[in-house]
Structure formats: C-alpha cells, structure tokens
Amino acid sequence: MKRLGNALFVLAVAAVVLWSLGPFLWQVVTSLKPTAEVVKVPPTYWPSHPTLASYVKIFSTRPFGTYILNSVVVALATTALCSVVGTLAAYAFSRLPLPGGEWAVRSILFVALFPPTILVVPLYKLVQALHLLNNPLGLILPYTALNLPFSIWVLMTFFKAIPRDLEEAAAIDGLSRWQTLWKVVFPLAAPAVATTAILVFIFSWNEFLLALIFMSQDAARTVPVGIAMLSGVTMYEVPWDQISAAVVLTTLPVVALVLAFQKRIVEGLTAGAVKG
C-alpha cells in the first residue's frame, strides 16, 4: 500500500511538472518547425523536419544580439544596485536605532504597493529631464527605485532573524561594525541576498512597459520589446517560429541562473522558517 502511495505521488508530481513545462516545451517545438508547418492545421506535435532557421532569422533580420546585451546590462546593473543598497539599508533599519526608522519602514512598504503603471508618466518626465531616454541608465535607475522597497523589506526579515549575540561576540573580539558586517552578518545573509537578487534580475529581464516607452530607438531596446517588435514580411503575418525561438533564447539565461543558484535560493526561502 505504501509503494502504491509513493507511485501515485511520483505520478502526480510528474503530471504537475509536465503541465507547468508544457507552454515552454511547445515554444521549443514551434521554434524547430519550418515556417509552413507552424500554421499547419491540425498542428503537428513534433516537427517533421527540425530546423534552426528561425534562430538564424532573428539574428539576421533584427539586431537581436543587441537586445540581449541591453537586457544583460540593465538586469545585472539593477540587480547589483538593489543588492548593495538594499542590503545596507535593510541592515540599518533592522539593527541601528535610526530616528523615525519605523515610519521609514512603513513608508517603504507603502511605496512598494504602488503599481508601476501609475508611475509611468512621472518617471518618463524625470528620465526625459535627465536626458536618459534611449540610455541604459534610463531603465537601470527606475528599475532600482521600483525594486528597492521589495529588496529592503525582504532582507529586513532575514536580518532580524540573525541573533544579535553573534554581533556582540564579534564586537567583544575587537571587530568594528564594518568588519562584523563583512565577516559575520553578510555571510549568514548570503542566501537571502541571492534569493532577492534572482527575483530582481527576473523582474528587470522581463519588464516590458517602461522599456517600451523609454527606449524608442531600436539599438536601445531590451529583449521583451525586441520580441514584441518581431514582424513578418507583411503587417498581417506573425512570425510565430521566430517569436518562439526568441522566447526560448531569452528564457534559457534565467533558467540557467536559477539552476546555478538553486541551493542558495532554497536556503533563502527556508531561512527563518524554523526557530529553535
């Protein structure tokens, strides 16, 4: 009976995984189909003649390599800024007796509740006034501002879970505040920082609205906007094979990043869940 229960559990997990991977696997299959077979009715579930032509087209017909480079620069810079500033701010709010600190924390949470959509116009005016339209900084700075409240709020939870006794022991051993941060606190908070950084990277990589409005020049566009701008020979033709190829290519870096830091992410998500 126990074996039957285990087998049913494994089958249920496999079904959920396949269901979740279904859309991505369909994109992979579509990207390998010839153009004529993509719109074939009834659809084929595996290409009769697999080809990489769609992957070649997105680089030969559009500056897709530039789109990827722009996204990498924007996402990495935003992640680095949010990780550094968010970590220091979260530690300060959770440990230091700052005047009005509680109200500042509440204000940060309140700002995080604002949807980015209602901030588009003021952000555009600000970016335009700073002459940062079609400049990577025109996305890096707004992305950082939008993600900092989330980063600070999440990291504060982890810093509060770290016993103060460790810092007091480090102070007794003669370590300064900064030495305590680098040698004691930050190593313990590494899983939380990694988890937050991954989430910020995914947001920055996938963000579409601000990138569409702020980056009007083709050479300044990021991957989501570049995919949306893919078109066929005529205005009535949708190149689904090229779109699928672009989606696969731009999803793989995120998947690779998550797999590379999988251990850190799991540690970050479970840290502080059990106290003892």
Transcribe 122-154 into DSSP letters. HHHHHHHHTT-TTSTHHHHHHHHHHHHHHHHHH
Whether the predicted pLDDT of 205 surpasses 90: yes
Quick check: 2 pLDDT over 90? no
* 276, pLDDT greater than 70: no
User: In the prediction, which pLDDT does 82 show?
Assistant: 93
Is pLDDT of 70 > 70?
A: yes
- Is the pLDDT assigned to residue 274 strictly greater than 60? no
pLDDT given for residue 207 in this prediction:
92
Decide if 199 is inside a domain: yes
Residue 235: inside a domain: yes
Q: Kindly tell me if the per-residue pLDDT of 46 is higher than 50.
A: yes
The alpha-helical segments, DSSP class H, found in the chain are 2-31, 35-38, 53-60, 64-95, 101-112, 120-129, 137-161, 164-172, 177-180, 186-206, 209-214, 223-228, 240-260, 262-270
Average pLDDT, the chain: 84
| Residue whose C-alpha is closest to residue 37's, from 25, 27, 49 | 49
Q: Which of the 8 DSSP states describes residue 64?
A: H
Is the pLDDT at 275 greater than 60, yes or no?
no
Task: End-to-end CA distance of the chain: give it in Å, rounded.
Answer: 35
Average pLDDT over residues 98-116: 76
Place 271 in a pLDDT band, splitting at 50, 70 and 90. low
**H helical segments located in 96-119:** 101-112
Q: Is residue 184 part of a domain?
A: yes
Specify if 196 maps to a domain: yes
| Total domains present in the chain | 1
For residue 231, what are the domain limits? 55-270
In a domain, 251, yes or no: yes
Residue 126 lies in a domain: yes
Q: What is the CATH number for 77? A: 1.10.3720.10
How do residues 124-163 score in pLDDT, each as one tens digit?
Answer: 999 999 999 999 999 999 999 999 988 888 888 888 888 8
138 located within any domain:
yes
Whether residue 251 is predicted with pLDDT greater than 60 in this model: the reply is yes
What pLDDT does 234 receive? Answer: 56
User: What's the pLDDT at 269?
Assistant: 58
More confident residue, 70 or 168: 70
Is 39 part of a structural domain of the chain? no
Mean pLDDT of 1-28: 84
pTM for this entry: 0.83
Query: Quick one: average pLDDT of 23-30?
Result: 88
What is the pLDDT averaged over residues 98-114? 76
